[in-house]
A and B are shown apart, each in its own frame.
Chain A
Amino acid sequence: MGLIHETDFGTPGRDGAAVTLEIDGMSVTVPEGTSVMRAAMEAGVSVPRLCATDSLEAFGSCRLCLVEIEGRKGTPASCTTPVAPGMKVATHTKRLADLRRGVMELYISDHPLDCLTCAANGDCELQDMAGAVGLREVRYGYDGANHFDAPKDESNPYFSFDPAKCIVCSRCVRACDEVQGTFALTIDGRGFASAVSPGGDNFLDSECVSCGACVQACPTATLTEKSVIEMGQPERSVLTTCAYCGVGCSFKAEMQGNEVVRMVPYKDGRANEGHSCVKGRFAWGYAVHRDRVLNPMIRERITDPWREVSWDEAIAYTADRFRAIQEKYGRGAIGGITSSRCTNEEVYVVQKMIRAAFGNNNVDTCARVCHSPTGYGLKQTFGTSAGTQDFRSVGQSEVIMVIGANPTDGHPVFASRMKKRLRQGARLIVVDPRRIDLVDAPHLPKALHLPVHPGGNVALINAIAHVVVTEGLVNEAFVRERCEDDSFARWAAFIAEPRNAPEALEEATGVPAAQVREAARLYVTGGDAAIYYGLGVTEHSQGSTMVMGLANLAMATGNIGREGVGVNPLRGQNNVQGSCDMGSFPHELPGYRHISDDATRGLFEKVWGVKIEPEPGLRIPNMMSAALDGSFRAIFIQGEDLAQSEPNTKNVYDALQAMDCVVVQDLFLNETSGLAHVFLPGTSFLEKDGTFTNAERRINRVRPVMPSKTGLDEWEVACRLATALGYPMSYPDTSAIMDEIAALTPTFSGVSFEKLDRLGSVQWPCNDAAPEGTPIMHLDHFVRGKGHFVVTEFVPTPERATRMFPLILTTGRILSQYNVGAQTRRTDNVIWHPEDVLEIHPHDAEERGIASGDRVMLASRMGSTTLHALITDRMPQGVVYTTFHHPITEINFVTTELSDWATNCPEYKVTAVQVTRTNLQLDAEAAE
């Protein structure tokens, strides 16, 4: 297979009434508002162009796309001229050819003629256009004033900016504005001095977020990936899916042999529609990093050195130890954890191994520590554990409420969609203790920011709902038709109580009542309103209650069941949705069906040929507790660094050390593998064959672009281990695994690799009722039938600021890094975030004599760590914030044992701490 070249129609598509016109004698019908250039492409006629590309609005600067239109004067630019009924257009005439050659002569007279040694040779639109217009000479010569000596900007680690090759078409500037929404670039100067500028000295020090949109838009070699400069042009493409956040962007992996040259966002990928962020676009180098462990390793004790062994020996060794433990301590003494970084097929096989070969339900997944409350809360209220919309839906929203999420850092490609809608006039409500970037981003309308006190979410959502109910803003017709009468009546009576008024809850929320009332009124009366939320909602002791509070609000106001509305979790990892769908929770089989349901268990028992334990198993924190009491002795951990990511790290260390056998399957040695007895090398997303399911329930294909570096795919490892444990398990390939999933899971019954390859992707439910998937859920009725309201009593977390620990710590992530950093720390992304820092309000810092850059000790009742301080007024007074990307910081030594009441999702967002200056060294500095 060669390179995939997507058709560029020159200008964006339009929706509108059909218009028929004639182009070069051919009749063509397109929507009203379409450009003549695009209409020509639809008819198969390519009009020469340089400043136009279909991801950007027409600009009309290059003057290459001129056409003649019967009855009109001159030669208008086809990119900026909309079609009209009966219009007759000529795209190729002698007059036009002469004009275009003249334009090209001017461009080329100020362009280095180094095509043979240029990195873009063979992938240069300027080169193509010179050929297309038949340029044979440049009458002006090359000795005049030019830009050949303009210095290159090599500051960005991933791409080079060579202004000598720039034709100032503004595609990069417009991509930054229109696609990414960052507005980091501009055209500096006038006339001949015009030049693309990142505003400051260079790209690295500018506001550029390295999304790559400018590089992709550039028609010359001005902005070029350094990997292309180093390696040359790719020779083949493989369509696959990014392995970072829950947006699940589609990419073309562009290859030379088995080496990746670059990752290019795929225009037809429905999650991202051709856009990307710095992680997916550039930070893939970890997959081939020298730290990868490629051979299995075992050791008797964790104090022994690792010993490389064959796959057969590693699997036999693991099976022997697991069996011995079960014989001595019982069937329930072992368990496993699936990973949201693995494919649906890999996750399905691991949970099957645990249920069928281990013989218990001690299976959990890393969603436990992020969106398990989403699963619980949305299932209780709507009937299924998933977001309601597709990503495109935000383009129809008139009010967007972002709660406990920071999309520009955590879900940047979706954030770009959201910002585009906001620039079109949608109103924004941000609920977050911090003043996140969305609150006052340039070129966006100022958001209504509710700086909720950490731990006050449920009080806030109750206060908002109180305004809705008591001010007569309930959508009575929707509630009457779509929701339960009795649960609504109970909830409405509760929420209308004066103790839920914004004024009464002001102390708990930390938000002035007037602002709460303003937000409530805006959410209800501003038009179609959508809720997008993240871990700032779920990672609380009342995480599940808050999710149900959001669902209550959406139902009470009728903001469910159509485009532009809904309740939407922004999932943290690429396959959090999928790993939950695949039965990774200890109480649920694939498709969110409870393990105690005899009929469901019977289906699986028939296909799997084994009895399934009807009792729920242990969740991750329960596994740790059971390890400490001696009843849980061994664990299989697929792609999760428990010792870094779980809260209350000391407890995790103690628990893992108490176990007799810890098996880690991962790309790299990590904090957890330091306590492991078996290390099974995992495969990167570039080696995997399967599917990921993103936050909009979209099932996307993940295709191997190179052979497995370990010799075995991860699903094969699970099959072999299950077999060694006495439960024969095998599949001919991963499509057969998906076929089994489809056969056993009603919401997946219409899914197959053949369909995914044919359609590109589908959103579940995908079955006989919706053979091509379901973009928007709960259209006519909720999955559970009638919507269920839940009384959401506010119960303050026991974790509160005290005299000893007077500040509240919240944790989160940053754009350039990803979760525990195992991937991004092994890329050049470290240039933007080499360490975790503590953000602190100026007043809190001054009280403690802390300056930015000072080393500080961060201590809670659980433990302490040291890191550098960053004073910023985006923090509210009394709250500090840091990230958890670097194991050196070990921030989870500080976080507590508290968790969500329903799901045990840890309360990462509320830890009472004290911050003091210290002369203690960071571990890394001490080591040096």
Chain B
Amino acid sequence: MDVSDITRMANQIADFFAASGHDDAVKGIADHIRHFWDPRMRRALYAQVDKGGEGINPLVVDAAVALRQTDQSVASKT
């Protein structure tokens, strides 16, 4: 998946949830990505975070870290 697409889409999601405060925003972002993103997109996001998360909103980084811990279908493949 194109990294710039993944980054842009994730950051847009963060922009929406940012108003709800850090913890709720992280949860909202993680839930949204879990519910609407195909596993290969989530994998691409985690990979980008692993590389330092350049250009990715810090809320997304936190959400990706949290989400990955429970993301069984993707965890085994990364």
Contact = CB atoms under 8 A, between A and B. Distances in A.
Contacts of A631: 1, 40
Interface string A84-109: 00000000000000000000000000
A587 interface: yes
A423 B19 CA distance: 43
Contacts of B35: 587, 594, 596, 616
B9 A904 contact: yes
Contacts of B16: 542, 545, 793, 795, 901-902
Interface string A526-564: 000000000000000110010000000000000000000
B40 A902 contact: no
B38 A791 contact: no
Interface string B9-47: 100110110111000000000001001111111000000
A531 B32 CA distance: 27
Given A332-B40, A615-B38, A616-B35, A625 B15 contact: no
A10 B37 CA distance: 58
Nearest to A618: B38
A594 B8 CA distance: 25
Given A629-B2, A904-B9, A616 B37 contact: yes
A901 B40 contact: no
A538 to B, nearest CB: 15
A542 B16 CA distance: 9
Interface residues of A, number: 31
B39 A628 contact: no
B70 to A, nearest CB: 12
Contacts of B41: 618, 622
Interface in A888-918: 897-899, 901-904
Given A897-B5, A901-B12, A791 B37 contact: no
A362 to B, nearest CB: 8
A622 B15 contact: no
Interface of B: prevailing SS? helix
A857 to B, nearest CB: 27
A542 B1 CA distance: 23
A615 B73 contact: yes
Interface string A163-206: 00000000000000000000000000000000000000000000
Interface of A: prevailing SS? loop
B73 A791 contact: no
Contacts of A587: 35-36
A682 interface: no
Contacts of A903: 36
Contacts, number: 62
A494 interface: yes
Contacts of A618: 38, 40-41
A494 B19 CA distance: 9
A617 interface: yes
Contacts of B8: 898
B12 to A, nearest CB: 4
A901 B20 contact: no
A415 interface: no
A901 B15 contact: yes
Interface in B35-72: 35-41
A626 interface: yes
B19 A793 contact: yes
A617 B20 CA distance: 28
A586 interface: yes
B37 A625 contact: no
A616 B9 contact: no
Contact of A793 (B2, B18, B36, B40): B18
A546 B19 CA distance: 16
Contacts of B73: 614-615
A791 B40 contact: no
Contacts of B13: 901-902
A793 B12 CA distance: 12
Nearest to A897: B5
Given A616-B36, A622-B41, A902-B32, A793 B15 contact: yes
A542 B15 CA distance: 10
B12 A616 contact: no
A587 B34 CA distance: 10
Contacts of A596: 35
A881 to B, nearest CB: 25
Contacts of B40: 332, 618, 626, 631
Contacts of A901: 9, 12-13, 15-16
Contacts of A625: 1-2, 5
A902 B9 CA distance: 9
Nearest to B19: A793
A452 to B, nearest CB: 20
A615 B2 CA distance: 20
A335 B40 CA distance: 14
B50 to A, nearest CB: 17
A455 to B, nearest CB: 14
B18 to A, nearest CB: 7
A227 B55 CA distance: 62
A616 B19 contact: no
A672 B59 CA distance: 39
B52 to A, nearest CB: 20
Contacts of B9: 899, 901, 904
Given A625-B5, A629-B1, A795 B15 contact: yes
B2 A628 contact: yes
Contacts of A586: 38
Contacts of A541: 12
B46 to A, nearest CB: 15
B19 A622 contact: no
A623 B13 CA distance: 19
B19 A791 contact: yes
Contacts of A545: 16
A340 B56 CA distance: 36
A494 B38 CA distance: 33
B38 A616 contact: yes
Given A614-B73, A622-B38, 4 more contacts: A618-B38, A622-B1, A628-B2, A629-B1
Listed from nearest, the 3 A-B pairs whose CB atoms lie closest are: A901-B12, A793-B19, A795-B15
22 contacts: A494-B19, A541-B12, A545-B16, A596-B35, A615-B38, A615-B39, A615-B73, A616-B36, A618-B38, A622-B41, A628-B2, A629-B1, A629-B2, A631-B1, A791-B20, A793-B15, A793-B19, A795-B12, A795-B16, A901-B13, A902-B16, A903-B36
